[in-house]
Structure 1
Amino acid sequence: MIPVSIGNPHLVVFVPEVSNTILESLGPFLATHSGLSNGANVQLVGPLVGNRLEAAIWERGVGPTSASGTSACAVAVAAIWSKKLDPGAVMIDTIGGSLEVHVNAELEVVLRGPVTEVCTGTLI
């Protein structure tokens, strides 16, 4: 488990396999763990394939989440900080799509990815 702050708290956990069953089991427990004063968003991250990582996301106070920019950044930083990857471009795949995260040796981050409107509304 690697704690990462991207302006909000994250807990990145590298696992042998990413599954909804594991996310549903570990997500709520880790997101509200007593060792985390304000809780954290949790990312379960599968094995590395080239520079790609698969991640499942549990957002504190929300639950399973299909995609998250800060989660993708946290996963990339954790992979580089833990020396699973060298600094550079990392692709983070989630059920909501893929995001490209560039992380340099100083752990500075640039996020790139598509933006898709998922709903609209009217404020009355």
Structure 2
Amino acid sequence: MRVSFTKMHGLGNDFVVLDARAQEIPTITEKVAARLADRNTGIGCDQLILLEPSDGADFRMRIFNHDGGEVGACGNATRAVALLHGSEARIETGGGMLTASPTGDGASVDMGEPRFDWDAIPLAYPVDTLSMPVGWETLNDPGAVNVGNPHVIFFVEDTDAVPLDRIGPEIENDPLFPERVNVNVATIENRNRIRLRVWERGAGLTRACGTGACATAIHAIRRKLVDNPVTVALPGGELDIAWHPGGSIRMTGPATESYRGSFEWDDYA
């Protein structure tokens, strides 16, 4: 059977979007998702996004990383599908209910409230998530937060100097993180701006990570390193993050539709 898709990206973090509300989509397995995401033999993307009907929301969004594993949240993809939807929407995700509104060139998303308890990250044992007494090589004293998926955040003098492609996989798969973890390495440029690179679990280095920007901004606000709101500059561009302790996270930034196409499902099953 032939299946239609929409290719989109948020700051270069790219997605293949399948809409099960408009067409029949067979069951997506880890193997199918990974094959579609392969940049050499598939369509190519950081994440495969599946939109489905929802009883309690405008639609449900499921997210499969480049390696085929399903995850609970993706901030850049949420902006992209809000743009595709074309109006304010409540979106059901594995990480919770989100609300998104299209803007001129993207969307503004209510990402819900962050979670800081060690077992909500989750971590393998109790530890203070504001200042964790652990380290890997030159990366020390991180914080951790769950914003629909787990993140660990390090503040460094120069994020570009960190060999994240080498150390990222080690931290992602450390036994401290039973569900693996997204690794954020950030430099505070001033009270209103953070520079960030992210190693995403199951995807590797990406040009942008919306939940990583949220997690990093929140952790910087908690440590009183920046003021609210704050701009997070990633290799692919900038996101604006607003958060007051005890409240939900507001992420605003661009999203783009690249092209539309179709493929034979049996070629990837």
Query: TM-score with structure 1 length normalisation?
Result: 0.89
Alignment partner of 1:58 is 2:196: no
Decide whether the 8 Å contact of 1:3 with 1:12 is kept in 2: yes
Given residue 55 of structure 1, which amino acid in structure 2 is its aligned partner?
Answer: L
Alignment partner of 1:106 is 2:246: yes
Decide whether the 8 Å contact of 2:188 with 2:225 is kept in 1: no
> What is the number of equivalent residue pairs in this alignment?
123
Given residue 180 of structure 2, which amino acid in structure 1 is its aligned partner?
Answer: G
Within a 5 Å distance, the mapping from 1:1-124 to structure 2 comes to 1-19=142-160, 21-86=162-227, 88-118=228-258, 120-124=260-264
Give the Cα separation in 1 of the matches to 2:258 and 2:170: 29
Segment of structure 1 superposing worse, 21-30 or 97-106: 21-30
The equivalent of 2:115 in structure 1 is none
Give the Cα separation in 2 of the matches to 1:26 and 1:104: 32
Displacement, 1:20? 6.3
Q: Which runs of 5+ in 2 are unaligned?
A: 1-141, 265-269
Decide whether the 8 Å contact of 1:41 with 1:60 is kept in 2: yes
Given residue 243 of structure 2, which amino acid in structure 1 is its aligned partner?
Answer: V
Spell out, residue by residue over 1:85-110, the C-alpha distance to the aligned partner (whole angstroms, 9 max, x if none). Answer: 24x21100001110000011325210
Could you say which structure has the larger radius of gyration?
2
Give the Cα separation in 2 of the matches to 1:81 and 1:120: 41
Decide whether the 8 Å contact of 1:17 with 1:47 is kept in 2: no
The secondary structure found in structure 2 opposite 1:122 is: strand
The RMSD of aligned alpha carbons is 1.7
The secondary structure found in structure 1 opposite 2:242 is: strand
**Relative to structure 1, is the Cα distance of residues 46 and 38 closer, same or farther in structure 2, using a 3 angstrom cutoff?**
same
Given residue 79 of structure 1, which amino acid in structure 2 is its aligned partner?
Answer: A
Query: TM-score with structure 2 length normalisation?
Result: 0.43
Q: Which runs of 5+ in 1 are unaligned?
A: none
Identity percentage of aligned residues = 33
